[in-house]
Amino acid sequence: MQNVLLIFGGELVKYDVVIIGGVAAGTSAGASAKRVDSSLGILLIQKEKFISYGGCGLPYYVQGIVKDIDDLIEFTPQEFREKKGVEVLPEHEVFEVDFERKIVKARSVKDGDVKEFEYEKLVVTTGASPIVLNLEGIEDERIFTIRTPEDAMRIRGFIEGKRPESVAIVGGGYIGVEMSEAFRTHGLKVFLIEMMDHLLGNAEPEINEVVVNTLERNGVKVLLKTQVRKFVPDEKIKVVTNSGDMEVDMVLISVGVKPNTEIFDNVKKSVKGAIEVDETGKTSIEDVFSAGDCATVDHFITKEKVYIPMGTTANKQGRIVGRNVAGRKERFIGVLGSSITKIFDVEFGRTGLMEEEAKRSGYNSGSVYIKSLSKAKYYPGSGPIHIKLSFDKKTGKILGAQMVGSDVHKRIDVVTSAIYGGLTVEELGYMDLAYAPPFSPVWDPVLISGNVARRYLKLDNR
């Protein structure tokens, strides 16, 4: 319930639960807590005016596939209040938390007015912010990041208003690759700059080759092992790198994100400054929980604390935290880092640990690579699919996979399910997957990868 206490002539409003941050984890926490106990007084404080939106859809708004930004908005503050029963304070930034007195202080981003709230339980879901490079010229207004609907609207507005002809994207992760397609759709010349020798975080060599070829076949100039040194704004922006310069009309920085945890000095943090939480979402401070892109999560295979900021994880963590602040005792089973993206006419997906990652975690791991077809070879639309499967050489258990090509989306989820189920490569090779020529060959590529791994482990010779 909500109480109002008079303090020094002003009002200090007390809530059962105060949530700092919305979007995925925060709104999930608020809604799930209210479902468990409808009597709870819950306040959600959000820095931006948008409290609940599909952040993963922002590149598709810039591209024009999503026509209106409102199509990405799940709830307005008023809708969330009316439909979920959670009070919402948008456009207020929390700048201080007194954990001993259980008081949160928030400042209006419009007029600076300060409000204070007391809580019984606190949920920190402050998310993450784009990493901004500390480089000369970075302040130019033609240099963008993309994380919020406002960011996406600025980029699309710039494209439609200024009609740029070229763009440099700094960072070859998921956002960089997805935005490459968005910019190409608008006819821009695209330079994709990545300091590592591979794209998409840790794409395996065989997989990375297909990704790079796909991008370049569609007009994206991919520059690997290239580091930006500075920007020189003029009529155009000169991008100075270790392997040469280029002049472009705009720049997108997409080199990753960092957790928004700066004000929480007394909370235990670990990987990359993220707030450390257990399986229930509890932090090191009593009655304080955290979830989403500002928090750690347990890896399902290694059981280690990891920082893998993803909307899917934020929603799940948020739901569990919400139920737990309402009195339940639920635990999150952990993540595999499963992800997928569209790269023009192919799909890229990954899950679990690849061979070298697994070795760093102490596994005696191996891997196999196969190339097959996504459908029966005689059926129209059949295309190549490449699979790299990793496994524990001692037990045969599946550890991870990367895939690129046609119809990856269902197959990466098959391997994900197999890992959660503790299956071996032998069991994977004989799974009873659905078959019809429009959907797969008789021997699905996933089955083939399992059987090739069997031969690698010499299981056929037993």
Q: Return the pLDDT at 2.
A: 54
Residue 3 pLDDT greater than 90, yes or no = no
Of the candidates 419, 418, 412, the one whose C-alpha atom is nearest the C-alpha of residue 445 is 412
- Confidence band, pLDDT 50/70/90 cuts, at residue 5: very low
pLDDT at position 461 over 70? no
187 and 243 together in one domain: yes
Angle at which helices 174-185 and 205-217 cross, to 10°: 20
Is residue 36 located within the same domain as residue 119?
yes
Whether residue 116 sits in one domain with residue 39 = yes
Average pLDDT of the segment spanning 219-226: 98
Q: Output the pLDDT for position 11.
A: 67
Considering the domain architecture, whether residues 152 and 92 belong to the same structural domain is answered as no
Q: Judge whether 59 lies within some domain.
A: no
Full DSSP string of 300-338? TTT--EE----HHHHHHHHHHHHHHHTT-------B---
Does residue 420 share a domain with residue 320? no
Domain of 72 in residue numbering reads as 3-51+66-128+258-325
CA–CA separation, 36 and 34 (whole Å): 5
The mean pLDDT value for 21-47 works out to 98
Boundary of a domain, candidates 197, 227, 255: 255
Q: What is the mean pLDDT of residues 111-132?
A: 97
Question: What CATH number is associated with residue 156?
Answer: 3.50.50.60
Identify the domain boundary among 212, 227, 255. Answer: 255
DSSP state of 249: S
Residue 60 counted as domain residue: no
Q: Is residue 105 part of a domain?
A: yes
Residues 431 and 400 in one domain: yes
d(CA 23, CA 1) in angstroms, rounded, equals 24
Instruction: Name residue 346's beta-bridge partners.
Output: 343
Task: Tell me if 83 is assigned to some domain.
Answer: yes
Catalytic center residues:
56
Is residue 402 in a domain?
Answer: yes
- Whether 237 and 296 map to the same domain: the answer is no
pTM listed for this prediction: 0.94
User: Residue 445 sits in a domain of what CATH number?
Assistant: 3.30.390.30
User: What average pLDDT does range 84-97 have in this prediction?
Assistant: 98
How many of the other CB atoms lie within 10 Å of CB of 45?
A: 24
Q: Are strands 52-53 and 42-45 parallel, antiparallel or unpaired?
A: unpaired
HSE value, Cβ hemisphere, 13 Å, CA-based, for 439: 8
Average pLDDT score over the chain: 96
Same domain, 173 and 110: no
Please give the angle made by the CA atoms of 132, 133 and 138, to the nearest 5 degrees.
90
In the listed set 234, 255, 276, which residue is the last one of a domain according to the structure? Answer: 255
* Bridge pairing between strands 237-241 and 228-233: antiparallel
Q: What is the pLDDT of residue 12?
A: 83
Number of neighbouring beta carbons within 10 Å of residue 281:
31
Average pLDDT of 230-243? 98
Cβ contact 224:55 at 8 Å? no
Which two three-digit tokens encode residue 410?
A: 């269902």
pLDDT in tens, 392-429: 999 999 999 999 999 999 999 999 999 999 999 999 99
- 143 and 230 in a single domain? The answer is yes
Q: Is 430 exposed, middle or buried (0-12, 13-18, 19+ CB in 10 A)?
A: exposed
Domain assignment present for residue 290? The answer is yes
**Residue 340 covered by a domain:** no
Residue 153 forms part of a structural domain: yes
Residue 6 has pLDDT above 50, yes or no: no
User: Are 91 and 42 within one domain?
Assistant: yes
Identify whether residues 80 and 45 lie together within a single domain: yes
- Per-residue pLDDT, averaged over 330-359, amounts to 98
Domain count, the chain: 3
pLDDT tens-digit readout, 40-61 = 999 999 999 999 999 999 999 9
Domain identity same for 438 and 402: yes
